[in-house]
């Protein structure tokens, strides 16, 4: 029988370490529910000792999910492990994930510990975690740059102390596939008790090799892969979940494993992560990029018409990319909307549907066809952001060749309605200045970009901003048929994310 490789999703922990990509608790819960539906085996919900906010999010996720394992990250210290356990103890399937660096450079400069001390601390951390649960993972941070024999000793000691999973991270994305595979083989041959634990890998993408390294390790016997949706994560990101899963799915004859994933939810999950984090997916991104299934060249199109397999190695339907036969427009009713949202992976309560339907009608009045991307924006802006501190309720802008650009804004700040007017160099500048004044914020706009959400001149404009305040950086995203409104929404979203970061300071963890 083909062996199964476990999918350990760390979008909510390592993924959230992407610059600017903080998520609030409501967004994390929504994403966690979607990941469970997608069928991942383990969700790393966060790092409870990092902040009260992280603790709270992990604890809520642990209470909500029933079928999936929920992991909480902890450094190899009693306090961190206690905190992680407090956050996840009520989960149906809790896992403590503790880690300690094993490379000489990390031990000498960061930890200031000797090899002997690290060896003892790793075993002690696992032993302590085992007093709470028999599901304990140990990670050797910067494992790929560690001395092999020392790493073997650490893994042996961790397993001896009770670790049920040992994880080899390529923390700085330095490994190359043949070397990484060889390292996994070395561990297999030199850790005498390795058969008592699941061997896992966790790769970063600094050299663009995360997926290749992960698959090379799977070929050598790794049976857990740590991944994020869309490959988001610190610096160049983590191994992309959809790339690994679809490689296994598509090349099943060559790769000797299967996964438990319901691949038809990949597209919806990828869009949800992009909407929530504000990180746009590059068009040529494998599997989930807008062009991943687009065939432009005439020769290719001709071949595709004769037999799709000439140029298509995967069917778009496999990842849930369907062209709905249901075209939504202003005459569509609540039932049709609910059905389409369900197909997209959004199960809404009656109250939520009411809100979404109202906004849907507004958009449908301005646009002939309301497409999936429009619906995703409505759900993200209307449902997931409702707990925001700042909310834009009214915007009126005047601009032109001979008038001073002016903006009138009404917004709510912590539930209190405020209004005012201001001017700027252009309509967007006027809107941003007025919003900044009303919200009492002093952020700096680092980047501003506009694109169209779909084709057509009536497409919604999608704006992303990057804001900085006191060293904190946040992304904001907004969409609307009117690009000035889209800009204002993106700006307000960025300000909300900055507020979240101010109240949820994240302690530095591993990369
Ligand atoms: O990259 C890394 O080393 C990590 C560990 C905590 C697993 O994220
Ligand atoms: Zn990592």
511 lines ligand 1 (CB under 6 A): yes
Q: Which CATH architecture has domain 387-503?
A: 2-Layer Sandwich (3.30)
Ligand 1 centre and the CA of 198: distance in Å? 17
The three-class DSSP label of residue 126 is helix
List the beta bridge partners of residue 94: 70
**Is 60 exceeded by the pLDDT of residue 249?**
yes
Q: In this structure, what token pair is assigned to residue 332?
A: 């569509």
Write down the pLDDT at residue 511.
42
| 468/473 Cα distance (integer angstroms) | 4
**Which atom of ligand 1 sits closest to the CA of residue 101?**
3
| Band of pLDDT at residue 64, cut at 50, 70 and 90 | very high
| pLDDT tens per residue across span 146-172 | 999 999 999 999 999 999 999 999 999
**Is 60 exceeded by the pLDDT of residue 325?**
no
Q: In this structure, what token pair is assigned to residue 184?
A: 């996994």
| 331/342 Cα distance (integer angstroms) | 19
| Band of pLDDT at residue 386, cut at 50, 70 and 90 | low
pTM comes to: 0.86
**Which atom of ligand 1 sits closest to the CA of residue 204?**
1
Write down the pLDDT at residue 510.
46
Contacts of 475 (CB under 8 A, 6+ apart): 20, 21, 277, 278, 279, 464, 465, 466, 467, 494, 497
Domain ranges in the chain?
3-277, 323-383, 387-503
Whether the CB-CB separation of 96 and 81 falls below 8 Å is answered with yes
Mutate to test the pocket of ligand 1, among 107, 122, 141, 235 (most ligand atoms within 8 A of CB): 141
Ligand 2 centre and the CA of 148: distance in Å? 20
243 burial via Cβ count (<10 Å: 0-12, 13-18, 19+)? buried
141 lines ligand 1 (CB under 6 A): yes
List the beta bridge partners of residue 217: none
| 249/130 Cα distance (integer angstroms) | 35
Q: In this structure, what token pair is assigned to residue 346?
A: 């959004």
**Which atom of ligand 1 sits closest to the CA of residue 171?**
1
Ligand 2 centre and the CA of 82: distance in Å? 22
| pLDDT tens per residue across span 289-307 | 988 988 767 777 777 777 8
Ligand 2 centre and the CA of 57: distance in Å? 19
Q: How many residues does the chain have?
A: 511
Q: Name all contacts of 442-449 with Cβ < 8 Å and 24+ positions apart.
A: 442/469, 443/467, 443/468, 443/469, 443/494, 443/495, 443/498, 444/468, 444/469, 445/491, 446/473, 448/487
According to DSSP, residue 426 is labeled: S
| pLDDT tens per residue across span 202-248 | 999 999 999 999 999 999 999 999 999 999 999 999 999 999 999 99
CB atoms within 5 A of ion ligand 2 belong to 14
CATH superfamily of 3-277: Aldolase class I (3.20.20.70)
| pLDDT tens per residue across span 403-461 | 999 999 999 999 999 999 999 999 999 999 999 999 999 999 998 988 887 777 778 88
Ligand 1 centre and the CA of 202: distance in Å? 7
Write down the pLDDT at residue 492.
95
């Amino acid at each position: 029988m083909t062996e199964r490789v476990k999918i350990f999703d760390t979008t909510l922990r390592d993924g959230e370490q992407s610059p600017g990509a903080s998520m609030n608790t409501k967004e994390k819960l929504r994403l966690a529910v979607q990941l469970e539906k997608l069928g991942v085996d383990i969700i790393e919900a966060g790092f409870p000792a990092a902040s009260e906010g992280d603790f709270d999010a992990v604890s809520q996720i642990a209470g909500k999910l029933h079928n999936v394992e929920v992991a909480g990250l902890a450094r190899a210290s009693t306090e961190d492990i206690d905190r992680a356990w407090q956050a996840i103890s009520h989960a149906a399937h809790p896992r403590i994930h503790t880690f300690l660096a094993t490379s000489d450079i990390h031990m000498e400069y960061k930890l200031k510990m000797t090899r002997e001390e690290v060896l003892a601390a790793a075993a002690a951390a696992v032993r302590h975690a085992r007093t709470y649960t028999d599901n304990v993972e140990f990670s050797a941070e910067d494992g790929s740059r560690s001395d092999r024999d020392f790493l073997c000793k650490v893994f042996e000691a961790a397993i001896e102390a009770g670790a049920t999973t040992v994880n080899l991270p390529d923390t700085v994305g330095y490994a190359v596939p043949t070397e990484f595979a060889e390292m996994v083989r070395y561990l297999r041959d030199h850790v005498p008790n390795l058969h008592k634990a699941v061997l896992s890998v966790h790769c970063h993408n600094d050299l663009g090799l995360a997926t290749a390294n992960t698959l090379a390790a799977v070929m050598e016997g790794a049976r857990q892969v740590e991944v994020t949706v869309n490959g988001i994560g610190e610096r160049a990101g983590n191994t992309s979940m959809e790339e690994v899963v679809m490689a296994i799915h598509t090349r099943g004859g060559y790769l000797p494993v299967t996964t438990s994933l319901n691949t038809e939810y990949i597209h919806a999950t990828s869009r949800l992560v992009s909407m929530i984090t504000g990180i746009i997916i590059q068009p040529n991104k494998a599997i989930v990029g807008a062009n991943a299934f687009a065939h432009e060249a005439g020769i290719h199109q001709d071949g595709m018409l004769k037999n799709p397999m000439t140029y298509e190695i995967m069917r778009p339907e496999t990842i849930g990319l369907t062209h709905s036969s249901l075209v939504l427009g202003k005459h569509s009713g609540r039932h049709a909307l609910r059905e389409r949202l369900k197909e997209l992976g959004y199960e809404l309560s009656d109250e939520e549907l009411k809100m979404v339907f109202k906004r849907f009608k507004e958009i449908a009045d301005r646009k002939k066809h309301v497409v999936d991307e429009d619906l995703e924006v409505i759900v993200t802006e209307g449902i997931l952001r409702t707990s925001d501190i700042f909310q834009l309720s009214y915007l009126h802008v005047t601009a032109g060749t001979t008038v001073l650009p002016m903006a009138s804004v009404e917004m709510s700040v912590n539930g209190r309605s405020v209004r005012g007017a201001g001017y700027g160099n252009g309509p967007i500048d006027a809107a941003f200045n007025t919003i900044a004044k009303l919200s009492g914020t002093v952020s700096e706009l680092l980047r501003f970009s506009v694109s169209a959400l779909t084709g057509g001149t009536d497409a919604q404009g999608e704006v992303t901003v990057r804001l900085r305040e006191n060293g904190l950086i946040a992304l904001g995203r907004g969409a609307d048929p009117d690009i000035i409104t889209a800009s204002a929404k993106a700006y307000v979203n960025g300000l909300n994310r900055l507020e979240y970061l101010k109240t949820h300071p994240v302690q530095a963890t591993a990369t």
